[in-house]
Amino acid sequence: MRVTIYLLLLFNLWLVSCSMATPRVSMPSHSEQPTAKTIPVDQKSSFILPTELTYQAETYSSRQEAVSEGMRISPRDHLPCDRAEAGAPIDVTVPDDFAFLAGERFVKVWKLRNAGSCSWTSDYSVVWFSGAPLGLQTSERLKQVVAPGEEVEIAVEMMAPDVPGVYQSHWKMQNARGQLFGIGPEGESPFWVRIQVLPRPTSTPEAMVTPFVPTPGIYRLGSFELSPGDSLDLDSGLFNPEQGGDFVFEILDGNYWIKPQGNSYLAVTSLFSPGYQDCRLAVLAQEAILATQEIQGSFMCLRTNEGRLGSILLSLDFERNQLSGAYILWELP
C-alpha cells in the first residue's frame, strides 16, 4: 500500500516538472489569421510605394546622336585663322645659293599654301622680315584671293647687292590687321631667299677702248633638244640646216662635245644668267667645248654666224645622249 502511494507521488512530481519546463505556446487557428489594416484615404502617409516602375532608358545610339547633334565641330574650327605652309616646291624660282652678278635684278617666286581657316584677300601682303633687304620694295600685296587649302605663287622683284658674298633675306605674310605669320609647325617661321653674289667680270684692255653699246631688243627666244650629230642655226631656228649652223653636238671617243660651226664663237660662263653686256665682254672662241657633268646647268654665251649675241642654259641627259637648252638671242646692235 505504501509502495503504491509512493509511486503515485513520484508520478505527480514528474508531471509538475514537465509543465514548468515547457511553456505553453498558443497557435492561432485558421479563423484567427491576421487581417490587413486599411489606411483611411484622408490620412497622409510619409511615403508611397509605386505599383509599377517605369524606366526612361536611352540607348547608346540615341546618346551618341544627341552628342553629335549638339557638338558638331568642323576640322577647320581647330585651325588658326592665319597659317601658311610651304608649297611643293616652295622655291618656284631662284633656289638656294643661286648665283647672280653684283647689281643684277631678279624675281623671286615662292609657292605657299593657305593652311589656316581664313581667306587671304588683297589686304594680305608678303613683307620683308629680317636679313638682307634684297627686295626692291619691303612689301608686296597679294593680287588674288586665296581660300583655305589653296596655293598661291607670290613674286617679289629683287636685286643682288653690289658687294660679292652670300646673302639671305627672310620674309613673312602679313594680314589685314598688320599681324605677321609664317610657315613651320607653329606658323611663325619665315621663308627666305639665299643667293650668291659674284663680282662682275673686269673688262680687257680691248674692251675698254670699245665704246659702250646699248642693250638691243630680243631677236628670238627658244629651246632645243639635240642628239649626237645634230646641229642648230639659232638665227633661223632651224635644226640640221644644210649650211649656216652655229654649233653641232657630237660624241667622240666616248666624250660629248659642242663644236662651233662657220663663223660662230662659244664660251661657257658661270652659274648665273648672263645678260647682253656680259656676253659682249666674254672671251668667245672657235674652239670645241667638252660637255661634262660640271657644265650641267651652266650658261653658254655665243656669237652666231650672222653676228648676233646669245645666251644658252645647258642641260645634258647622259642616259638618252641628248643635249638640251633654252636660249635668248639679241638683235644686232
Residues 131-166: tens digit of each pLDDT: 999 999 999 999 999 999 999 999 898 999 999 999
Task: Output the pLDDT for position 48.
Answer: 45
Lowest-confidence region among 55-64, 97-106, 182-191:
55-64
3-state secondary structure of 162: coil
Instruction: Over range 24-50, report the average pLDDT.
Output: 46
Mean pLDDT of the chain: 79
Q: What percent of the chain has pLDDT over 90?
A: 42
Q: Which of 38-47, 262-271, 308-317 has the highest mean pLDDT?
A: 308-317
Cell of 305: 654666224
Q: What is the pLDDT of residues 247-264, one digit of tens each?
A: 999 998 888 999 999 888
Domain ranges of the chain: 84-198, 205-330
Strands 98-101 and 191-198: parallel
Q: Out of 3.40.50.1100, 3.10.129.10, 3.40.710.10, 2.60.40.10, select the CATH number for domain 84-198.
A: 2.60.40.10
Contacts of 86 (CB under 8 A, 6+ apart): 111, 112, 113, 183, 191
Contacts of 237 (CB under 8 A, 6+ apart): 220, 222
pLDDT-based confidence at 8, cuts 50/70/90?
A: low
Partners of 317 in beta bridges:
322
Among candidates 119, 116, 130, 110, which has minimal Cα distance to 190? 130
Helix (H) or strand (E) segment spanning residue 239: strand 238-239
Cell of 204: 680687257
3-state secondary structure of 6: helix
pLDDT-based confidence at 16, cuts 50/70/90?
A: low
Full strand arrangement of the beta sheet holding 151-159: 84-91, 105-114, 151-159
Task: Output the pLDDT for position 280.
Answer: 87
3-state secondary structure of 302: strand
Q: What is the pLDDT of residues 61-90, one digit of tens each?
A: 443 443 344 444 445 557 899 999 999 889
Could you give the count of Cα atoms lying within 13 Å of 100 in the half-sphere of its Cβ? 23
What's the rounded Cα separation, in Å, for the pair 248 and 244? 11
Phi, psi of 286 (to 5 degrees): -95, 50
Phi, psi of 256 (to 5 degrees): -95, 135
What's the rounded Cα separation, in Å, for the pair 213 and 194? 32
Q: How many C-beta neighbours within 10 Å does residue 10 have? A: 8
What's the rounded Cα separation, in Å, for the pair 77 and 6? 113
